[in-house]
Amino acid sequence: MENWETVVVETDLLICGGGMSACGAAVEAAYWAKKNGLKVTLVDKAVPTRSGAVAMGLSAINEYIGYSKGENTCEDYIRYVRQDLMGIARDDLVFNIARHVDSSVHLFEKWGLPIWTDENGKYVREGRWQVMINGESYKVIVAEAALNAMNEAGFEVYERVFICGPIMDGDRVAGAFGFSTRENKFYVFKAKAVCAQMGGAVHVFRPRSVGEGLGRSWYPPFNSGSTAYFTIQAGAEMTCQEIRFIPVRFKDAYGPVGAWFLLFKSRATSAEGGEYMAVRKDELNNWAPYGLVKPIPANLRNYLGMLDTDAGLGPLYMETAEAIQKLADEYKDDPKAFKKKMKVLESEAWEDFLDMTVSQAILWAAHNIYPEQKRSEIAACEPYFIGSHSGGSGAWVSGPEDLDTPYKWGVGDKVYGNMTTVKGLFTAGDGSGASSHKFSSGSHAEGRWAGKQAIRFILDNNEAPNISDDMIAELKEKCFAPMKRFEEFKGFTTDPNINPNYIRPMQFMFRLQKIMDEYAGGVSAAFKTSKALLERGLELLDMLKEDAEKLAAENAYELERCWENVHRMWQAEAHVRTMLFREETRWPGYYFRADTPKMDEDNWRVFVNCTYKDGEWVFEKKEVHHLVD
Ligand SMILES: Cc1cc2nc3c(=O)[nH]c(=O)nc-3n(C[C@H](O)[C@H](O)[C@H](O)COP(=O)(O)OP(=O)(O)OC[C@H]3O[C@@H](n4cnc5c(N)ncnc54)[C@H](O)[C@@H]3O)c2cc1C
């Protein structure tokens, strides 16, 4: 620890993370900060040009309203999101993102992102809300704009610095601490406001891919619950911690299905060929009103497939060959045109994977799958925490000032949009809850909003935080405790992996994942859980928490893994406790509470919020307020 230099960075606004929402925050905050003589600092555990969920690229932008072109309204988007989340969404936040999202998409295009257009110059839509892109370099383009804005304003960006947690000064956030994963440097960032935007969480649950495929998942492995940990530890009120997301994707390489369902109009079937969405249609009555309105919520679509799997009708398949044939059929009387169309469709099918999930293309090649000839297996993935996609978990943040919403707060009579319940702590993207379906574009737009609001907050509350030298010394001790422990005890046994004095991060992660998988409704429990299972899971999580004090790290790489697992563990606990609190099943297909198997609109059409304060979790229900019917 003596070898680790302490670096103290003083700034006005600290942006933690370098993903879609953080890049949005940086672009906007850099502009307003420079104008007002303030300083912004951005810190990413990786390198923003290839970090976060969009690192590998995407094939579609999933939220584009087309408002100025008269294509859709923001009110329609509210209805769509609320319907998909079985009634549980913050209209105010969804509306606020929707009214800003198109401008983010137009900026992406201006910065160089190729968006597909038709012969009339109109964006090609994959579905009602999505636009198709050549997105291999999507993140590079968006990050470059953010980095340029930061550089031009003379602000600093710290790459490969892992943020461990918040620093508090009484009831306000005062910054963050972390360490460099490449140099022996311990960082203390002192800030007047913080945007905590470090994405969602993966590998909280045991993934399907173990052994030879260990680490593969739909959600990229880079995000490990750091935003949730940061906000929980700062004392922020959290919401929708029970709403995990389980996508159904091409099996084992997790290739996207959106283009297949929306663009290719493909069917998903059981091994016997029955289309579960049609065969099991009656089940949707049990989930009225949401089950009876189109589009059917993603969790219900999952659920119908899961019923087939439970009935032994698996594997499930995407009927790729049938879909391609159907699309080419209109050219069947012209062999040359037919051949040409088949070639285009075939290349679009591969391109979809090459844009964002190269490994799926590799798996298809390895399994001799020609999508135009043979159907391909799909399956429900393990659960993830991604409030910006179809999950809902995140912090409870203030709505915008101009909307008629009961959820507005700030300091005195000033409202600061996207501020958590902690003074000066803002979040967006996966970090803010109950506002799903923002995706990449909406996360960027929300990040821009949060960045601008944070600068407003600083201008009104321009006081330097108080962080004592003693506190810095304490945080440094805490940060490096796993390395100290390893050094102290490594000689105790001949095999460094087996030691009664410590636990290494990989073993710790396996233990967490086993608890979550078996007790909290993971893949091997067929996504089912119950009060008794959750209570037993909590007992085991409690013991895991005790052992978190025994984590050991041989080097900086392992130190990062230790902290990632601590972050995951807190996300896990918030999830288990919230599922326990909500005594109903509202999102079958995401999780099923076997002891309360029905939806209860009278008692549970509410947000469940939790706060961790003075060592205790406090839970409460919050009313769902509508801006539109
Ligand atoms: C597999 C997949 C497919 C998707 N497909 C689409 C799609 O087709 N279209 C679409 O529009 N959207 C899609 N999305 C959604 C989109 O990627 C997210 O909505 C968006 O990236 C969320 O932005 P964010 O800023 O919250 O998180 P991210 O973009 O994931 O950024 C998180 C950032 O935090 C950093 N970070 C994490 N932990 C720390 C730490 N401890 N210290 C410092 N930095 C840290 C990371 O390095 C990263 O830079 C997809 C998401 C996934 C996972």
Question: pLDDT for 493-522, tens place per residue?
Answer: 999 999 999 999 999 999 999 999 999 999
Tally: H helices and E strands in the chain: 17, 23
Which residues make Cβ contacts (< 8 Å) with residue 74, sequence separation at least 6?
A: 65, 67, 95, 98, 99
Weakest mean pLDDT among 87-101, 125-139, 230-244: 125-139
pTM for the whole structure = 0.97
Distance from Cα 166 to the centre of ligand 1, integer Å: 20
Question: What pLDDT is recorded for position 561?
Answer: 98
Residue pair 596/583 in contact by the 8 Å Cβ criterion:
yes
Residue 355 has pLDDT above 90, yes or no: no
Question: What pLDDT is recorded for position 212?
Answer: 80
Partners of 314 in beta bridges: none
Tell whether ligand 1 has an atom less than 6 A from the beta carbon of residue 389.
Answer: yes
Residue pair 524/517 in contact by the 8 Å Cβ criterion:
yes
| Residue 429: closest CA among 162, 186, 623, 198 | 198
Q: What atom in ligand 1 is closest to the CA of residue 135?
A: 8
Helices marked H in 312-430? 320-328, 335-356, 358-366
The Cα angle at residue 110 between residues 106 and 113, in degrees rounded to 5: 90
Q: How far apart are CA 422 and CA 410, in angstroms?
A: 9
3-state SS, residue 523: helix
Report the residue among 15, 28, 50, 58 best suited for mutation to probe ligand 1: largest number of ligand atoms under 8 A from its CB.
58
Tell whether ligand 1 has an atom less than 6 A from the beta carbon of residue 223.
Answer: yes
Distance from Cα 443 to the centre of ligand 1, integer Å: 9
Residue with tokens 């905050």: 29
Residue 54 has pLDDT above 70, yes or no: yes
Question: What pLDDT is recorded for position 215?
Answer: 83
**Average pLDDT over every residue of 32-42:** 98
Residue with tokens 């929300």: 446
Residue pair 161/179 in contact by the 8 Å Cβ criterion:
yes
Which positions are catalytic?
62, 126, 218, 249, 352, 389, 440
**Average pLDDT over every residue of 165-182:** 97
Which residues make Cβ contacts (< 8 Å) with residue 546, sequence separation at least 6?
A: none
Weakest mean pLDDT among 213-217, 226-230, 534-538: 213-217
Question: What pLDDT is recorded for position 439?
Answer: 98
Question: What pLDDT is recorded for position 352?
Answer: 82
| Residue 55: closest CA among 106, 15, 19, 104 | 19
Residue 412 has pLDDT above 80, yes or no: yes
Neighbours of 119 (CB within 10 A): 5
Beta pairing class for 238-239 and 248-250: unpaired
Report the residue among 14, 131, 217, 439 best suited for mutation to probe ligand 1: largest number of ligand atoms under 8 A from its CB.
439
Partners of 610 in beta bridges: 238, 619
3-state SS, residue 41: strand
What structural domains does the chain harbor? 248-380 (3.90.700.10), 479-621 (1.20.58.100)
Residue pair 25/449 in contact by the 8 Å Cβ criterion:
no
pLDDT tens figures, 293-351: 999 999 999 999 999 999 999 999 999 999 999 988 888 899 898 889 888 888 888 88
Extended strands (E) in 409-534: 410-411, 414-415, 425-426, 528-529
Residue with tokens 């440094």: 476
Residue 59 has pLDDT above 90, yes or no: no
Residue 104 has pLDDT above 90, yes or no: yes
pLDDT more than 90, % of the chain: 89
Partners of 133 in beta bridges: 115
Which residue is closest in CA terms to ligand 1's atom 37?
198
Q: How far apart are CA 190 and CA 176, in angstroms?
A: 7
| Residue 396: closest CA among 615, 606, 100 | 606
Q: How far apart are CA 72 and CA 128, in angstroms?
A: 9
Question: What pLDDT is recorded for position 259?
Answer: 84
Residue pair 16/176 in contact by the 8 Å Cβ criterion:
yes
For residue 245 the two structure tokens come to 């997301």
Which residues make Cβ contacts (< 8 Å) with residue 365, sequence separation at least 6?
A: none
| Residue 63: closest CA among 112, 133, 137, 140 | 133
Q: Is 536 exposed, middle or buried (0-12, 13-18, 19+ CB in 10 A)?
A: middle
- H or E stretch at 619: strand 616-623
User: Rounded to the nearest 10 degrees, what angle do helices 469-489 and 556-581 cross at?
Assistant: 110
Q: How far apart are CA 62 and CA 64, in angstroms?
A: 7
Q: How distant is the alpha carbon of residue 417 from its chain centre? A: 20
Question: What pLDDT is recorded for position 2?
Answer: 64
Distance from Cα 442 to the centre of ligand 1, integer Å: 12
pLDDT band at 138 (very low <50, low <70, confident <90, very high): very high
Task: Report the chain's C-alpha Rg in angstroms.
Answer: 24
